[in-house]
Structure 1
Amino acid sequence: MAAFLLVLLLSVCKTIAGIEMIPYTPRVSELNMEGKITGSTFALEPPNCIFDPFVNVSDNIWLVVTFINATAKFKNPTTPQKVPPYEELYSTYAYMTMKSTLSKYPCRKDKTGNVLRVGNESSCKNDDSRTHCNGPLPSAGPFRVKFLAMDSNGSKAETRWSGPITLNKAQPWQKVDTWPGRRSGDMIVITVILSALCGVVTIGFLSTVCYECFKLWRHGPPEGQEEQRPEAFQAGRYDTHHIPPAPPAPPPPPPPMDMSNPQLIS
């Protein structure tokens, strides 16, 4: 089965100017990921199991990046020394980057989660020693890309050009639309209701506090709690024992009579 598919694949390929056309179209990754396309980069699907019938292990595989209006003018380099560097993007509107070999794109299914990030090497942007830098893209494009295989004699095989790839373009902060009309109707209704309830609760709380403070200031202390003065505290009688009071003392007895006095006897 594998041999039949290989023969069928080879029969579909055709030769254009001595370069084999690989029936593959590069495309942006279909993975659900953040930052798939940014203002200076985009993520490509890796061309795994694409180059095996056409490329040897010693050949180099490049990614060609051009502006969409420079695709037709791009000429495949005839020698490795004529590979256009990153700096030519600003003059000829095309360059080649991501130099790799066949081992980079193995015919296995265990690397389906990988992506090729185009434009993510900002450190080599101004480094003259890195002529084939994968530097950030200077504008939103649109761009087109293709893979090109080269050996010591020059270009050997290539894929089709991708469709237009347009990067995100940052908007000036003055143009950011903050009008509530961009919100959904349900969100606006819920926000208004919650805001009104918070306002009613706040007004009620403040009104209650003000009323209580005014009532205390107007009428003095609450009823049943008269102001106490120091002279109001007087000591009362206190009996330590519940004993009735003693009866009055009897009068003293009369003096004794003198029997020797006759007058007192008569």
Structure 2
Amino acid sequence: MDSLLLLLLAIAGTFAQIEVIPYIPRLTDQALEGKITASTFALDPPNCIFDSLVNTTDEIWLVVAFTNATNSFKNPTNPQQIPPYENLYSTYAYMTMKATISQYPCNRDKSGSVLRVGNESSCKNHNSLTPCNGPLPSPGPYRVKFLAMDSTGSKAETRWSGPITLNKAQTWKTVDTWPGRRSGDMIVVTVILSILCGVVTAGFVSTVCYECFKLWQNGPQENVEQQRQDPSQPSRYDTHHIPLAPPGPPPPPMDIPGSQLISASP
């Protein structure tokens, strides 16, 4: 009897209806660059959506699923059933951005506050089955909803969003390179830059040619001067900065015998 009661309670808990909030997640309407990219998209945060339904200890998750897998997605009843980002191609859905009610307050300034889905590239290759907010691997389309959970399982949820399709990168063959489709300003700038490059190149070539001509013109004269010099003669070195020494005094006269006698006679 006890086992039957437990079975009935489990079945009742499985099919128990959780609170559905009439809120539809949507892309932010703020003027942002890259609101939708090839691997991310930006949502408005669910401020004031769960205030009357959850406690401060409850968790609020974002569920991301392929559009054709939303009907088959089952809300987890315990943390072990939360589908991680790494299993996206096997479960076709994952849960990310775990938060609490304190992160979505009613008094938050909405300007500049968005939730960027797929913005965490550092955890995509960890294979640790963590609640990673990794980049979305394909254009989708995707649909999202917010889900509140407590220790016993899912507690409240929003409605699914509309389909969100990411940008698809163009292949190099599809890029139009014909100049006729470019704007007039772009053509003018391109022409001006081309002319400046040509002027700089012409000036460089002229300078090189002039220097080469100078070397060629002065080279033969220097060779002739070198040939005129006799290699057997030493190089002359003039010390212009040293004055010439004055001539020395004449030597004294030599003594002549008998000179004293001549000078002493009257």
Q: Following TM superposition, by how much is the alpha carbon of 1:179 offset from its aligned partner in structure 2, in angstroms?
A: 2.8
Equivalent residue, structure 2, for 1:140: 139
Q: Which amino acid aligns with 1:28?
A: L
Equivalent residue, structure 2, for 1:114: 113
Contact 1:86 1:133 in 2 (8 A): yes
Gaps of 5+ in 2: 1-14, 199-266
1:40 partnered with 2:33:
no
Q: Using a 3 Å threshold, how does the CA distance of structure 1 residues 113 and 174 change in structure 2: closer, same or farther?
A: same
Equivalent residue, structure 1, for 2:93: 94
Equivalent residue, structure 2, for 1:261: none
Q: Which amino acid aligns with 1:56?
A: N
Query: Which SS does the other structure have where 1:171 is aligned?
Result: coil
Q: What percent identity do the matched residue pairs reach?
A: 72
Aligned residues: 182
Q: Using a 3 Å threshold, how does the CA distance of structure 1 residues 87 and 182 change in structure 2: closer, same or farther?
A: same
Take 1:164 and 1:110, find their aligned partners in 2: how far apart are those partners?
27
Equivalent residue, structure 1, for 2:69: 70
Query: Which SS does the other structure have where 1:122 is aligned?
Result: coil
Q: Following TM superposition, by how much is the alpha carbon of 1:178 offset from its aligned partner in structure 2, in angstroms?
A: 2.4
The equivalences for 1:213-224 within 5 A come to none
Q: Following TM superposition, by how much is the alpha carbon of 1:18 offset from its aligned partner in structure 2, in angstroms?
A: 1.9
Contact 2:37 2:167 in 1 (8 A): yes
Take 2:68 and 2:34, find their aligned partners in 1: how far apart are those partners?
25
Q: Following TM superposition, by how much is the alpha carbon of 1:182 offset from its aligned partner in structure 2, in angstroms?
A: 3.6
Q: Which amino acid aligns with 1:157?
A: A
1:21 partnered with 2:20:
yes
1:172-222: CA deviation from partner (whole Å, max 9, x where unpaired): 1111112345446xx39x958x97xx99xx9xxxxxxxxxxxxxxxxxxxx
* TM-score normalised by length of structure 1: 0.62
Query: Which SS does the other structure have where 1:88 is aligned?
Result: helix
Q: Using a 3 Å threshold, how does the CA distance of structure 1 residues 178 and 17 change in structure 2: closer, same or farther?
A: farther
Q: Which amino acid aligns with 2:156?
A: A
Contact 1:124 1:130 in 2 (8 A): no
Equivalent residue, structure 2, for 1:128: 127
Query: Which SS does the other structure have where 2:161 is aligned?
Result: coil
Equivalent residue, structure 2, for 1:166: 165
1:23-43: CA deviation from partner (whole Å, max 9, x where unpaired): 111011111111111111111
Contact 1:23 1:159 in 2 (8 A): yes
Contact 1:76 1:155 in 2 (8 A): yes
Q: Which amino acid aligns with 1:81?
A: Q
Take 1:57 and 1:64, find their aligned partners in 2: how far apart are those partners?
20
Equivalent residue, structure 2, for 1:80: 79
Larger radius of gyration: 1
Q: Following TM superposition, by how much is the alpha carbon of 1:96 offset from its aligned partner in structure 2, in angstroms?
A: 0.4
Take 1:43 and 1:178, find their aligned partners in 2: how far apart are those partners?
31
